[in-house]
Amino acid sequence: MRQVQNEVRNNITRFHMIKRGDRVIIGVSGGADSTALLHILVQLGGILKAQYRVIHINHGIRGPEAEEDARFVESLCAGYRIPCRIVEVQAEEFAEKHRISVEEAGRVLRYSVFEEAAQAWEREADTEKIVKIAVAHNKEDNAETILMQLSRGSGLKGVAGMKPVRGRIIRPLLTVSRAEIESYLRKEEISWRTDSTNLHDDYTRNRIRHEILPRLVGEVNRGAIDNITRAGRLIGEADRYLMRQAERFLWDTLVEDRDSVGISTAELLRQESIIQSYMLRIMIGRVNRSMKNITAKHIEDIARLSEAETGKRLDLPYGMQAVRTYDMLWIGKKGFAGEAVSEEAGAGQEGFYRENFHFDVFDYGPDMKIPTGERIKWFDYDKIGDIMEIRPRRVGDYIMLESGGRKTVKALMADEKIPAAERNSIPLLTVGSDVLWVVGHRISAGYRIDSGTRRVLEVRYEGE
């Protein structure tokens, strides 16, 4: 009995789940897990000094049985003198409307109710301290999740299973088995409710719970559940490491516009394929918060797009699109590139004629004065290292900033309030999509003269 309480207390301490004086919403269905969670948190109340509120969700599926569950939870909370709120939702209706399973609909609705209640309590308390949401997932639940994600073809993040803490969500029972929980309740002489839908095999999780996991434990390895959850924890560690590596590579090369993000295809393809996939996931996350409908196949298709010809596009979930431009891969909401200039725009206009530019290369001396005029610019010649081009703007063009970051030419022109009608007529001096000079406006910080400069490229613009 005390072993389960100690395990929960250790989890709370180890993962910083609840601190003294915290406000905690406890999701209680009336089943064994949530009933035990409520009882244990009440027992630890003298130590935690936390404030509790209980929410019970009636999913609108089981009729009178669900109403009895609600009355049971209300009675339980009355005994503990904890405020209890019963919320009714329509999981089947929601599932049909959004074309998802009833199981998934129930999960979405539950967390939506919990989140709204947490935010309301924060406003009521007038505090910036977040309200926690305690849910009663146990060790078997975690193993079931790992197997479900594995069978669906999820990436490492999904196969890592549940986290003890995710934002405001806390799972104090995650390392406790179902058998330990039920034994604890019996010894404490506490009854619980049994959801009849958990006994059926109508839902994917129930089939894993009643058929697959018992056979793994009984016929393959008695320690299967512990081994699966341990593997999930190790996979989670690998996932976090790979994410950090991808972030390190990405932030040096990422170009962000108002409604899209881009990366040099050369930089992307230079990385190992698994790092590429993490970089692409990060990019998607910058455009759209939810990754739930992004599959491994989507990531593979985007990676292939980076090697495709210019102009190729790929539609993605959540109204997103990936686009391959001159030497960049962009991800954004559909139509994000619609306002951008085509590669041919401005061709043949007088300002883009080669004879309007005069180039000279000479050795640099520290006593030389760098010109400040709008029509003459100096660049560190040895930093350029590739063929330059004079042209109008293109999708994917960017300029290096003093901070070390990048800005798209589209965003630069908008920030400097250059009239839209004039933007296609402004010449750019470029190396690929890397812009050295937006003539008359800005030069790249990446090619400026510094203490290490040996040779200067002087560019003089003599057009109208």
Is 201 annotated in a binding site? The answer is: no
Rounded to whole angstroms, the Cα distance separating 21 from 152 reads 41
Q: Are 455 and 364 in contact (CB under 8 A)?
A: yes
CB count in 10 Å sphere of residue 139: 21
Is 32 annotated in a binding site? The answer is: yes
CA 332 to mean position of chain CA atoms: 15
Is 30 annotated in a binding site? The answer is: yes
φ/ψ (deg, to 5) at 428: -120, 140
Q: Are 303 and 276 in contact (CB under 8 A)?
A: yes
Is 177 annotated in a binding site? The answer is: no
Is 451 annotated in a binding site? The answer is: no
CB count in 10 Å sphere of residue 431: 18
Is 29 annotated in a binding site? The answer is: yes
The sheet with strand 328-333 has its strands ordered as 255-256, 260-264, 328-333, 320-324, 313-316
Rounded to whole angstroms, the Cα distance separating 317 from 153 reads 17
Q: Which two tokens stand for residue 228?
A: 């699966």
- Residue 388 half-sphere exposure toward CB, CA atoms < 13 A: 20
Residues 6+ positions from 30 with CB-CB distance below 8 Å:
56, 69, 70, 72, 73, 76, 192, 193
- DSSP SS3 for 166: strand
Rounded to whole angstroms, the Cα distance separating 54 from 83 reads 6
Binding residues for ATP: 29-34
Binding residues: 29-34
